[in-house]
Every structure is written in structure tokens, then in C-alpha cells.
Amino acid sequence: MAAGDDLKLLGAWPSPFVVRVKLALSFKGLSFENVEEDLGNKSELLVSSNPVHKKVPVLLHNGKPICESMVIVQYIDEAFTGTGPSLLSSDPHERAIARFWAAYVDDKLVTSWVQSFRGKTEEDKSEGTKQMFAALQTLEGALRECSKGEGYFGGESVGLVDVSLGGLLSWLNATEEMSGTKIFDPVKTPLLAAWAERFSELDGAKLALPDKDRMVEFIQKRQAQAAAAAAASQK
């Protein structure tokens, strides 16, 4: 990294969107200062750096803020082209395919998984779960197409889509443990199941992914808080 390249990440350890940025920084071999935000009491720096959404992650590069996880990931790839591997192919069509699937992860997988957790009714939640598994089936096909027989969406090495989906891994693994239902089912989605294991073993992933047990504890606490809030509002 060039001298005078100051990287600061405003984040929250459980957030899959923050994990994406950490993954990209790790894979590129970039060092950064990690600033843990209390999302219940956001710092002045966070609010002034992301006035539009007031959300994490925010990457500050020499004091200049970049917001939105996939915008940040592409920024890291483009601002540090000489450092570490590229997260995107140089071929325009392959780049378009990667951007398409990275957007799909957000539009379909994240949305449906959030609904399965936070749906207002049991019906809402089970619809979310159904759509989540449909999205995973589609991503199985995407992996087959993109990997071209290699191990990652990026081919031989990790790329944009691996980072986009990889950010969700700890949440998805924790959900698996809590529900008792396999999310990356080796029977239904064998390529994805193998990818999840392979990805988690990468040095860069080990640095960035939150520990599964810590994740389970966090989700359980959040659910208990939500249940208590719902009960209190019914009194």
C-alpha cells in the first residue's frame, strides 16, 4: 500500500454488509483501521460521512467517505489495482455477469432472507424462506456458469460475487444452526455447499467472517429483544 493511504472502516461486526468490505480489504491485502460503531448511538463521524443513509459500512480513504457495500468493494478494486488480486475480470462481458449476480444476491437473497426473519406474520416468514431457497437454487446455476469448473464465482480466485455472497455466510450459517435446516444443502445445491466450505477456509475469509457461535448468540439476543418489544406494545 502506498505511503499516505489511510483506510478507516466504520462498521459493526455482525453486519454482512460490513463483512463484505472486510473481505475485499483482506483479499487485497490492505490494512485498515477498524472502527466499531454502536448502531444505537451512532458516532458524529458516521453521521457526517453517510448523511444520506447513516448506515455502516462506510470506508474512509484519506478522510473521503465511500458508502454502500458493493460500491465500496468496487472502489477498493479500482483504487488499488496494483495491490493484490483483481476482484473483477478485465473482460467487459464477464464484469457485467459478475455485477448482475452481485445485484441478485442483494435484490433476491438478502431481501427474502430478511423477510424469513422479520416477516410480520408466520405466513410472511415462510414465504420469505421459500423465496430464499428459490434464490439459492438460482445461485447454484450461477455458480456453475461463472466458475467454469473452478472453485469460485470469480473462477480460479475470488471475485465480486464471492464477496457479495460471502458477506452473508456467518448469518446464513447461524440461521442453519438455529433452525436445524440446512441452507447450503449438499443435495439440493452441491456446488454452493462446497463453495461455502471452501470460501470459509480462505485466510482472507477467516480474518473477516464473524465467529458462528458469536453470531448465534447475537441473533438470539436480537430476537429476544424483538419479542419483548412486541409483547410490551401489546399491553
Interface with another protein, residue 145, by CB under 8 A: no
Interface with another protein, residue 21, by CB under 8 A: no
List Cβ<8 Å contacts ≥24 apart for 219-227.
219/171, 219/174, 219/175, 219/178, 220/178
Shortest spacing between CB 202 and another protein, in angstroms? 25
Interface with another protein, residue 72, by CB under 8 A: yes
Q: Which of 138, 139, 29 is nearest to 86 (CA)?
A: 29
Shortest spacing between CB 18 and another protein, in angstroms? 17
* Chain centre distance of CA 107: 13
Interface with another protein, residue 42, by CB under 8 A: no
Q: Which stretch binds another protein (CB under 8 A): 73-81, 113-121, 177-185, 186-194?
A: 73-81
Interface with another protein, residue 86, by CB under 8 A: no
Q: Give the number of other CB atoms < 10 A from CB of residue 121.
A: 8
Interface with another protein, residue 67, by CB under 8 A: yes
CA distance 134 to 103: 16
Among 92, 148, 234, 235, which residue interacts with another protein (rule: CB under 8 A)?
Answer: 92
Residue with cell 429483544: 225
The enclosing H or E element of 11 equals: strand 7-11
Pairing of strands 58-61, 33-36: unpaired
What DSSP character marks residue 106? I
Interface with another protein, residue 78, by CB under 8 A: yes
Interface with another protein, residue 163, by CB under 8 A: no
Among 2, 3, 52, 187, which residue interacts with another protein (rule: CB under 8 A)?
Answer: 52
Please give the residue ranges that form the binding site for another protein (CB under 8 A).
Answer: 52, 61, 64, 66-68, 71-72, 74-75, 78-79, 92-93, 95-97, 99-100, 103-104, 138
